[in-house]
A = this chain, B = another copy of it.
Amino acid sequence: MKADLDDLLRSNAMDALLVIGPARHNPAMVYLTGLLHVSDGLLVKPRGRAPVLYCFPMEREEAARSGLETRVLNWHEFNQTVKGDTVELMARLCQHVLGEQRVTGRVAVYGQMEMGEALGALRTVEERMPQVRFVSESKHISVLGRARVTKDAGEVERIRRMGKVTVEVVGAVVDFLSSQSVAGGHLVAKSGKPITVGEVKRLIHRLLSERGAEDPEGTIFSVGRDAGIPHSAGLDGDLLPIGKPVLLDLFPCEAGGGYFYDFTRTWCLGHAPDDLAAVHELVLKAHQQSLASLRPGIQAMSVQERVCDLFEAQGHPTVRSQPNTQNGYVHSLGHGLGLEVHEPPAFRASVEGQVALEPGMVFAIEPGLYYPEREIGLRLEDTVWLRPDGKPEVLAPYPMDLVLPVRSRRKTSTIRKGKGPGHRAKL
């Protein structure tokens, strides 16, 4: 957690953090400053001292909203000196703030930047300031990575709020879909015009934006074969067929680049074919089994391993049994999330997954099974907080039903009735 920063700097033998870039859509900066309208900031946090945020004159009042000590840079002087050379500008800014804060030694550097320019600037700083050494650390062991992997109460509440937004939007999508009619095997509006994936995505965007959220990484709303390829996002012109999987993977964040939520449900409009229903039952079992096993101290990879056991026992290929499979269970069980939609810990059957779960971690659990050529793709995902009392809590519960009844269909459209977890009311 953020409160541990000095301890983490010490244990990683770092003398300071340097964070560069905007205070929006830039996780490391947003973590330390909050979401601000600051487009060019530099934050220095020497070990044992409070962070200082440097900004340009036009953004002085926005920077001050961080509540941190702020200093205004002499923009004119820098601008004149560097003569339009953005690499040199960045180098000089780094030199200035490190020098003024008397930083020497090992510096962990963060911020999403154009990597070519960053490389040039940081090399230049090291040449000019031999007392400074920028140290690269992988996210799962870096100072900020380790701080961010457990969330404090304020962070959890923000993720929970995004969860509330997410299930509200999902509920509205379900209401929209189930209030349409059917013609020619597809969902159609009362006018007879087919409902498209693009139309639903626009509805989702509007609902998110009305709730102070956005989906910078996109939204997956994919149908049939596309649902069988986990990152196929769905094409705007696609129609919504009856009796095929419709997968909605929604991962919005607070507008401006704040905390994320991650959520997936897969539905079948009207009725579900038997093979898809069987897959749904098994994925639901994997989800429930995983949730039940979560507790502090267990290895993330062990949860993934148990899901592989379950799927393999039913004859499904997995990333464990057939590492490059494009059928069956083709990804890992989950991932941490916070200011990025994918953060540590990883729930992989690999060294990366050899991390003991801790109270305060927030992560997505998302088992799935995929057979694109058979038009089968099904994933169920929730975001879970491992609470201080050691219990896992889904931050925004939502029903898991497969079949989404649609109007103008006969009783056969609800053949799966009663097989879900029983929360039909909202559907």
Contact = CB atoms under 8 A, between A and B. Distances in A.
A28 B114 contact: yes
B115 A122 contact: yes
Contact of A58 (B22, B113, B116, B331): B331
Interface stretch (A188-196, A302-310, A343-351, A408-416): A343-351
A24 interface: yes
B350 A80 contact: yes
B115 A20 contact: yes
A268 interface: no
Nearest to A212: B202
A142 B118 contact: no
A238 to B, nearest CB: 13
Given A57-B324, A115-B20, A229-B58, A205 B110 contact: no
Contacts of A257: 216
Interface in A194-251: 202, 205-206, 208-210, 212, 214, 216-218, 220, 226, 229-233
Interface stretch (A132-140, A175-183, A285-293, A390-398): A132-140
Nearest to A83: B351
A87 B24 CA distance: 24
Contact of A84 (B115, B121, B229, B352): B352
A131 interface: no
Nearest to A352: B84
B206 A209 contact: yes
A87 B39 contact: no
Given A60-B229, A83-B351, A84-B346, A206 B210 contact: yes
A79 B346 CA distance: 11
A426 interface: no
Interface in A84-126: 84-88, 108-123
B117 A83 contact: no
A214 B201 CA distance: 14
A62 B232 contact: yes
A61 interface: yes
Interface in A19-66: 20, 22, 24-25, 28, 37-39, 57-62
Contacts of A115: 20, 109-113, 115, 118, 122
Contacts of A142: 116
A231 B233 CA distance: 35
A352 to B, nearest CB: 3
A11 interface: no
A229 B37 contact: no
Main secondary structure of the interface of A (DSSP, over half): mixed
A113 B112 contact: yes
Contacts of A77: 323
A147 B143 CA distance: 38
A172 interface: no
Contact of A352 (B24, B25, B83, B87): B83
Contact of A218 (B24, B205, B208, B220): B24
A269 to B, nearest CB: 23
A215 to B, nearest CB: 8
A206 B207 CA distance: 8
A109 B119 contact: yes
A256 interface: yes
11 contacts: A22-B217, A24-B216, A24-B217, A79-B348, A80-B350, A87-B136, A109-B115, A113-B113, A117-B139, A216-B257, A218-B256
Given A58-B330, A118-B119, 15 more contacts: A24-B216, A25-B216, A61-B232, A76-B323, A79-B348, A84-B351, A86-B140, A109-B116, A110-B115, A111-B114, A112-B115, A115-B115, A123-B136, A202-B210, A205-B209
